[in-house]
Amino acid sequence: MMRIFFLILLTLPAMAQDVAFDTAATEACLATDAPAESCIGLAADACRRDTDGGDTTVGMGACLAAEVAYWDDRLNAAYDALRVRTRAIDAESLDYGFEVPSQADALQAMQRAWIPFRDAACDYERSKWGGGTGQGPAGAACLLRQTARQALALEDDLAERQSQ
């Protein structure tokens, strides 16, 4: 996977049994008319409030890592569904004899290019902390934002394609 996620995972053994993570706050927000991006981080915030030691560097890292995993699952589900959809579109184009760029290949290239962008953006965010203890939570929060935004973008694309 990636460097930042592994750093986050290092904090989990100490708190794995004590983290009070629940996606309810995020999912409730997503069910409203609020901008979807405003829902990012709500579950991690609730986790930090509801977890003993949630305000510590380790606690913050564990709660952020739990929400990153939630958004990563959503991202992967949307990506997989889009891959199926774009492959079908590509096959249909070939059946009709159209010579057009492959949507499935373009989706894959986009996602592969996004990963180093995400990593570089979060490396930069962590660098602002100069090696201090805040760099872990800052990097995890960045990873959360980047992953959630990408998941939402892929889900939006999938929803648009399904309505066509």
pLDDT per residue as tens digits for the range 92-117: 988 888 888 999 999 999 999 999 99
Amino acid code (one letter) for 160: E
**pTM, 2 dp:** 0.86
Q: Which of 45, 40, 72 is nearest to 145 (CA)?
A: 40
- The two three-digit tokens of residue 26, written as one number: 């995020």
Put residue 35 in one of left, alpha, beta given phi > 0 → left and psi -120 to 50 → alpha.
beta
Q: Which of 70, 143, 82 is nearest to 111 (CA)?
A: 82
Predicted pLDDT at 1: 40
Q: Which domain holds residue 26?
A: 3-162
Q: Which of 11, 164, 1 is nearest to 92 (CA)?
A: 164
pLDDT per residue as tens digits for the range 115-160: 999 999 999 999 999 888 889 999 999 999 999 999 999 999 999 9
Q: How many domains does the chain have?
A: 1
In sequence order, what are the residues at sequence separation of 6 or more whose Cβ sits closer than 8 angstroms to the Cβ of residue 64? 8, 44, 137, 140, 141, 143, 144
Looking at every residue in the chain, the average pLDDT score rounds to 89
- Considering only residues 11 and 120, tell me which one the structure prediction assigns the higher pLDDT: 120
Which pLDDT band, with edges at 50, 70 and 90, does 74 fall under? very high
- How many CB atoms are located within 10 Å of the residue 164 CB? 6
- How many CB atoms are located within 10 Å of the residue 97 CB? 6
Predicted pLDDT at 7: 45
Cα 83 from Cα 121, distance rounded (Å): 26
Cα 76 from Cα 135, distance rounded (Å): 26
